[in-house]
Structure 1
């Protein structure tokens, strides 16, 4: 049964990737409801599809597979609006939004204070806010021939990604994997070349739990290694490079059939990167945003049984007030759908974690007030 489930999840994730050519899709108003993630496009319930024209958005590549399916599902319900989301990376997405070029942005990191201040020039009478929308584990994918069950911890990962551990049979890795046949093979770490919220969250974990020598940031600060653009880029490099290791959202590992490391967190058993295990960690998050801003503080050092600590939450960055009149209806309609039970229920099969109920309720209430 477990194998069948994995195969089913992989098939769904690959299907999501196939949707990627359909970023700009039309949609039509309907109040009919079907289950999300089924054989056809889901029809969102209780959504007024009164937006017209093209809605541009960009940012996080970690949520790309979710966005592909959401756009496809939305297209099954609403005509007259094109939703075009470009997975340019969190940093680029926020920059484009703050320049007033997009209706909303996707970011795997909450806005910084200076970005909120700058947003007031775009959000007339309001400001940009963080709306948690997609949760999930950041998988540590690897390509080591003959090794299909690898355990790592934060300290070892910090040394690997700072080029301090150079061979896969290093004593530190051996200690975590007694009995494993680790080869005398060069470790080839890959990191993101673009400013990335995934990098920010991954290095926050390394800093909090593993003594990472650098400050966490969207821009990679580690020493050595090789770079590739986007989650698709680094996961592709792992797939084709013997000895490679990198970090990316779980659906890329699932779609690429890549091995992922379990984490020794101090719990009784090493923790696997799964949606359910990530949900356990995300449920410990605390809201640190004020007012309409729903930014979260994640617990990267959790030792709870079955809680996978390298998680991210992707935010949709939008104006709480002062949205452009021509894009407000479609923006509000689309954000209402993706935060709805229909929208969130489509996530799990793709390797994402739906929002915990308490957080989802706050997001829906906040989206309803956008003006």
Structure 2
């Protein structure tokens, strides 16, 4: 394994070439944000050829940054990431089509069992890699700050609250004039880890207002659907009186406002990376062995803790990885979980993982075989 330091000149060149890279690597319709990449990063290169990944669209902006920086340092490896949603990524991993899958929800027991066919002598494990928050992004003229809570969000997305001046919304927003505009909600059409995390929050925190179990597949009544995080963001941006859920970076890149969440704390929590970090600080590892699936506290009432958070996992084989891609996979993941890798995605709305979690991931990566 060789260590390469990316110069500022090469990183700027990588930024200029980003559109070409995206079209060549098939990362789907989710556009990468315009950012300034780090002025330099030390990356240990290894392996060669094409490294394939697929899945979560919530992490697509993060992967675009990572692969551009990594490719500038390690030109012998071409990282290709296709979106399609967490469900599609997990299925491609199980079928042995990709070296890693991005998923905003950890593997279920039956999925772990199914990964054995792609991981001879082992199985898939969840490595937390990109942390973020789910924005309730809205398009409502004249309303610069909106507060919602879990019961109200549940009823909006289940078709029970249909107007912006509904008493339940008005009560959460004293002093704000809410228009008598109909609400148009947008949800994901594809199986999505973002949906799984939002519905996990609603199921845990809505006191029964959300009647469905957490799931990657949307179960609410009413509303319209769109494909991927970018699709939902595009619809909310276009339709007045609309609301949708998406990873924060997509709300930011589309100039959308995000609702604050009333949790029972003295003040509602704004949708900021710092407030999401407060929630992540209370997370614990629920997985065993090399699996580092996290348990998130969706019902937190800590002051300043934004509760609707998600972690995107890179799903890889603990054993049985293909020899042709193993070295490149380990090198790429080592960069993404490094301090420079986490700081790079922090510039576009993601939340750097707590060091306690990052250290655990850094310890597992060398053991992959």
Shared fold, TM over 0.5 = yes
Instruction: Confirm whether residue 57 of structure 1 aligns to residue 53 of structure 2.
Output: yes
SS for the counterpart of 1:346 is: helix
1:87-128 residue CA offsets vs partner (Å, 9 max, x unmatched): 111000000010000000000000000110111111111110
Give the Cα–Cα distance (whole angstroms) in 2 for the partners of residues 221 and 300 of structure 1.
19
Residues 64 and 276 of structure 1: CA distance in aligned 2, closer, same or farther (over 3 Å)? same
1:175-216 residue CA offsets vs partner (Å, 9 max, x unmatched): 011121111111011000000000000001011101211111
Give the Cα–Cα distance (whole angstroms) in 1 for the partners of residues 162 and 36 of structure 2.
45
Instruction: Tell me which residue corresponds to 2:139.
Output: 143
Candidates 283, 286, 290, aligned match of 2:284: 286
SS for the counterpart of 1:87 is: strand
How many residue pairs match? The answer is: 345
Identify, as 1 or 2, the structure richer in strand. Answer: 2
Give the Cα–Cα distance (whole angstroms) in 2 for the partners of residues 292 and 350 of structure 1.
29
Instruction: Confirm whether residue 93 of structure 1 aligns to residue 57 of structure 2.
Output: no
Give the Cα–Cα distance (whole angstroms) in 2 for the partners of residues 101 and 156 of structure 1.
41
Conserved in 2, the CA contact under 8 Å of 1:42 and 1:74?
A: no
1:15-50 residue CA offsets vs partner (Å, 9 max, x unmatched): 999946524889xxxxxxxxxx755664333x1x23
Instruction: Tell me which residue corresponds to 2:28.
Output: none
Conserved in 2, the CA contact under 8 Å of 1:25 and 1:71?
A: no
Instruction: Confirm whether residue 161 of structure 1 aligns to residue 160 of structure 2.
Output: no
Give the Cα–Cα distance (whole angstroms) in 2 for the partners of residues 20 and 221 of structure 1.
36
Conserved in 2, the CA contact under 8 Å of 1:42 and 1:77?
A: no
SS for the counterpart of 2:279 is: helix
Candidates 212, 218, 221, aligned match of 1:220: 218
Conserved in 2, the CA contact under 8 Å of 1:25 and 1:81?
A: no
Consecutive unaligned residues in structure 2, runs of 5 or more:
1-13, 26-34
Instruction: Tell me which residue corresponds to 1:7.
Output: none
Candidates 175, 180, 185, aligned match of 1:184: 180
Give the Cα–Cα distance (whole angstroms) in 2 for the partners of residues 353 and 16 of structure 1.
22
Candidates 113, 128, 149, aligned match of 1:117: 113
Deviation at 1:135, TM superposition (A): 0.6
Give the Cα–Cα distance (whole angstroms) in 2 for the partners of residues 324 and 204 of structure 1.
34
Instruction: Tell me which residue corresponds to 2:9.
Output: none
List aligned pairs for 1:65-104, cutoff 5 A: 65-104=61-100
1:299-357 residue CA offsets vs partner (Å, 9 max, x unmatched): 00000000000000000000011101111111111011101112111121110001101
